[in-house]
Amino acid sequence: MKRPYEVSVVLRILTNEDETQGAINQVIAYIEAGTGDTAKGKVTRVDRTSLGRRKLAYEIDKQRDGLFVIIYADLEPSHLSELDLNLRLYNPVLRHLIVRYEGEVKKVARPERPEREGRFGDRDRGDRPDRGDRPDRGDRPDRGPRPDRAPQAPAESTLPAEVPAADSAE
């Protein structure tokens, strides 16, 4: 049973349009392997214009630009591994991705949010009340002064005043 798939291919930039069209036709031939009733796939649409030629995020095989082509096809799931291998070995293909096609993606409307200026919106950090002037909430017992903020008395030694001498003559 054939299922709809989207085959995204990044082709290397070839010298002329005929070579580019020949590379796309070869990818289509890999998708439509077999003839007649034994065909393992059927291309329904080829989209060259939505992405087209773009600068790559990083260099691949000394290529800085690539031609992005999206091919929509109905494929047998058993044909995917063979198609993946053929695309991996075909030199003009820099990268490829095969995914199940579930139809057009609908954009979800996001609710409008008020414009904010900077990280904290219109609120200036200086207009907050001083945190030291807060009243006691009453839900905690008084813990007394905090040792890290209260003045410290010099620490007393925890050693005993006299240490008995050990007899070494035994």
| Per-residue H/E/C for 57-86 | EEEECCEEEEEEEEEEEEECHHHHHHHHHH
Is it the case that residue 51 has pLDDT exceeding 80? yes
87 found inside a domain: yes
61 found inside a domain: yes
169 found inside a domain: no
The pLDDT score that the predictor gives to residue 66 is: 93
Share of the chain above pLDDT 70, in %: 63
85 found inside a domain: yes
CATH of residue 39 = 3.30.70.60
30 found inside a domain: yes
Average pLDDT over residues 130-155: 66
The pLDDT score that the predictor gives to residue 154 is: 64
Between 121 and 84, residue with greater pLDDT: 84
Between 50 and 69, residue with greater pLDDT: 69
Report how far apart, in Å, the C-alpha atoms of 17 and of each of 13, 20, 124 are: 10, 5, 58
| CA–CA gap between residue 121 and residue 146 (Å, rounded) | 35
Confidence of residue 18 (pLDDT cuts 50, 70, 90): very high
Pairing type for strands 93-100 and 41-60 reads: unpaired
Give the range of the structural domain holding residue 72, as residue numbers without chain letter: 3-100
Confidence of residue 25 (pLDDT cuts 50, 70, 90): very high
Based on the structure, what is the number of domains in the chain?
Answer: 1
132 found inside a domain: no
